[in-house]
Amino acid sequence: MTILTETKDGPLVLSPDQVEKIGRTLDELRDRLVADLGERDREYIYNVIKAQRGFEIAGRGLMYLGFLPPFWLAGVAALSVSKILDNMEIGHNVMHGQFDWMREPNLNSRVFEWDTVCPADQWKHSHNYMHHTYTNIHGRDRDIGYGVLRIDEDQDWHPYYLGNPLYAFLLMVFFEWGVMLHDLEADNIVKGKRTWAELKPLLKGQLRKSGRQVLKDYVAFPLLSGPLFLSTLAGNVTANLVRNLWAYSIIFCGHFPSGVQSFTEAETADETRGEWYVRQMLGSANISGSPLFHIMSGNLSHQIEHHLFPDLPANRYPEIAPEVRALCEKFGLPYNTGPLGKQIGSVWAKIFQLALPPQVQQSRFARFLPAVLRKREEPGVIVMRQQSPTGAGV
């Protein structure tokens, strides 16, 4: 594979030797991190769990005073923080196997279950396996558009995508439900590519898990608050909504802002370890922010580092980010990062632009739209596979 990087000074080509040097450097960084894991990481995750449980207890307790607006708002805020921590910094990271080395039964990726409607086993298949193995490869990574959106210009346009902004908004509001349904592959159901035999066990698992979540948040806890049933119900709905909006924003900023690249199966056939690393760096983006912001994002604000080392504790990503960035700069590769406002703005600009037919995007009208799709006109990165005379990748 030849990596061709377009810079302001012209094209920069990374040779196979350079790509493999990148791979060796990152392998060495990984080995160093693994050797250093210990009490600091153990204490970190225990402290996060302690904080999450504290916020949940506070949120549930404050709902009993929900007839007073300040207490209701405080309860919603505490419960929202609890759900965000459980979803982002605990659930997501634990189920990646980041703390399996601790041999703590409650933090084992094989048995952990999180506070959301998606069954853990289904999420681990669609996310840990499909997404992290085939990151941004068209036809393999189903996180490109989630089977609902046109989020990359290489996706064929269809009139259905005129509703792109609406679909994105609904996915954001009901994000935990979208994540739950993701493994069903709704688009393949419509095309008749999935059978009932394949769907039945998935649906049973989803109904069982979502039923427990609905019973807990929308029946049991509201009933326990007696005459404040509706107030508590509204608080739980709001907390889940806040968690959905936050998780959607962080995840989309890490995968779909301007400058993030996608790939074809032909380009990535017979990938080496170094090429896999380079694809991860080109196919993801970071979000800059404070230490608290990084914790609340589950350190997915360091999406580049997460894609390089998804099974290493996320609390280590901030300390290795400067090394990863320096490595990118050394070889001329982009290190896509920016504040939340910039990254989410480019994501939504892309969602609106890609709702339009390609001919409209290329027309004079496109001059009035944000320039987030001009991969071939502005500095960016293109991954190309050299072709042999027979057309096979070499």
Contacts of 89 (CB under 8 A, 6+ apart): 48, 52, 295, 296, 297, 298, 299, 314
Say how many residues make up the chain: 394
Confidence of residue 367 (pLDDT cuts 50, 70, 90): low
Other beta carbons within 10 angstroms of residue 381's beta carbon come to: 22
Between residues 4 and 75, the one the model is more confident about:
75
Determine the Cα–Cα distance for residues 78 and 58; give it in Å rounded to an integer.
Answer: 6
The amino acid at 347: V
pLDDT of residue 131: 94
Structure-derived torsion over alpha carbons of residues 149, 152, 156, 160, reported in degrees to the nearest 10 = 20
Q: What are phi and psi of 21, to 5 degrees?
A: -65, -40
Other beta carbons within 10 angstroms of residue 184's beta carbon come to: 18
pLDDT of residue 197: 85
DSSP string, 126-140: IIIIIIHHSTTBTTT
Contacts of 383 (CB under 8 A, 6+ apart): 1, 3, 4, 261, 263, 267, 278, 279, 282
First and final C-alpha spacing in the chain: 7
pLDDT of residue 373: 45
Between residues 72 and 142, the one the model is more confident about:
72
Confidence of residue 381 (pLDDT cuts 50, 70, 90): very low
Q: Give the pLDDT confidence of 287-297 residue by residue, as tens digits.
A: 999 999 999 99
Q: Give the pLDDT confidence of 42-99 residue by residue, as tens digits.
A: 999 999 999 999 999 999 999 999 999 999 999 999 999 999 999 999 999 999 999 9
Q: CA separation (Å) from 221 to 279, 288, 362?
A: 45, 37, 53
Q: Give the pLDDT confidence of 102-141 residue by residue, as tens digits.
A: 999 999 999 999 999 999 999 999 999 999 999 999 989 9
Contact present, 99 and 225 (Cβ < 8 Å): no
Q: Give the pLDDT confidence of 160-188 residue by residue, as tens digits.
A: 999 999 999 999 999 999 999 999 988 78
Strand partners, 11: 6
- Tokens in use for 311? 């099974």
Determine the Cα–Cα distance for residues 20 and 333; give it in Å rounded to an integer.
Answer: 14
Q: Is the dihedral of CA 246, 145, 356, 279 positive or negative?
A: positive
